[in-house]
Amino acid sequence: MSKNYDVIIAGCGAAGLYAAINLPSELNILILCKRDLPLCNSSLAQGGIAGVYNSPGDNIQYHQNDTLIAGSFKNNVEAVHTLVSEAAQDIEHIIKLGVEFDKNPDGTYHRTLEGGHSHHRIFHHADATGKEITSTLLENVQQLSNVTIMENTMMCSVKQTKTGYSALLKLADDSYETCNCHFMIMATGGIGRVYQFTTNSAIATGDGITFAYEMGAKIKNLSYVQFHPTAFNNRATRECFLISEAVRGEGAYLLNCHKERFMHNYDERLELAPRDVVSHAIILES
C-alpha cells in the first residue's frame, strides 16, 4: 500500500509541529511520530526559550555575542544571526498560538538566566516549558485539516526518487506501508541514546542523521554534541532526570565531593558558564 503527500515531516517535537503550522495550508502534510505523541525531547525541556522580545536593556547583538562566545567562535555566524534576530517574532507567534510563559506581578514576562547568557532572556513556563510549548503546538496542528499524524510509526528507511522521497514505515500494528512525498523535513531530534546515560528520551537515537547520511548528506562536527551537565544521579535508568541549568540561573551552585564550590577555579561566569565548560569542570573535579 502506498500513499502520497506533498510534505512528510519525520518527528513530532517542537520543530516538526512548528514546521507544519508554518507551511502553506494547501499542502497535504504527513507527520511521523515514532512513539506516543507526548514523548519527545522537546516535551522534556525544562528551562525555557531564549530570545530578545520586548526586552529593555537587552538586544540581539548581545544575544549574538553570547552565542558566539559560548560556541568558542566556531559557530556559523549567519545561522546565529538568523537565530537571534528571528527569535522575537517566533516567541510572539507561539504566544498568539496559546503558549503561556510565566509573568511578573506587574504583567511583564518573567525571564531567567541560563548558562552562557549575560542577560535575563529565558522565557519559561515554570520548569516545564517544553511540555507547555509542544502541547500547545500539538493542539494547533490537530486542528489543521491538511495535516495527518501517524503515531507509533517507525520510519525504517527513506530514499530519494525522481519526484521527491519514498519512506518505508512500520505501523503500530506491525504492518508496513510506503509513503511518498515531494519534500521531506527531518525533525528527528538528538542522539542522546547513544550514550550510557542521558537526559534525552528513549527515542533520541539519531535516526534522521543516519537517513540523511545514507542519502548523501555530509555530516560534520560530530563531536559538537550538546548535553546537560547536571542530572539526578540514578544509575538504575539510562534516562536521567534533568536538573535544568535554569536552577543555577536562579542561584543554585555546584559542589564537589568535599562539598566545596569549584566553578570559580575554571570560569569567571561560575555556574552560568556554557555547558561544555561546566561539564569539563565537573569531570576534572570528579
* Tens-place pLDDT, residues 54-102: 998 999 999 999 999 988 899 999 999 999 999 999 999 999 999 999 9
Burial of 114 (0-12, 13-18, 19+ CB in 10 A): buried
Q: Would the pLDDT of 121 be above 60? A: yes
Asked if pLDDT for residue 242 goes beyond 80, the answer is yes
Does a structural domain hold residue 264?
yes
> Active-site positions?
275
Q: Note whether residue 94 is domain-resident.
A: yes
Show which of 123, 152, 169 is a domain's final residue: 123
* Global confidence as pTM: 0.87
- Number of domains, the chain: 2
- Rounded to whole angstroms, the Cα distance separating 52 from 45 reads 20
21 within domain boundaries: no
- The amino acid that residue 87 corresponds to is A
Boundary residue ending a domain (123, 156, 173): 123
- One DSSP character per residue, 53-81 reads SS-TT--HHHHHHHHHHHTTT-S-HHHHH
- Picking from 281, 283, 272, the residue whose alpha carbon sits closest to that of residue 47 is 272
**What pLDDT does 198 receive?**
85
Task: Give the model's confidence band at 2: pLDDT under 50 very low, under 70 low, under 90 confident, else very high.
Answer: low
In a domain, 39, yes or no: no
Last residue within a domain, chosen from 93, 123, 153: 123
Q: Nearest Cα to 135, choosing from 38, 214, 204?
A: 38
Note whether residue 191 is domain-resident. Answer: no
Answer whether residue 262 is part of any domain. yes
Hunting for cell 531530534 — which residue is that?
A: 189
pLDDT in tens, 161-170: 999 999 999 9
Residue 113 is assigned to a structural domain of this protein: yes
Measured in residues, the chain has a length of 286
Residue 66 lies in a domain: yes
Mean pLDDT value across the chain: 92
**In which domain, by residue range, is 265 found?**
253-285
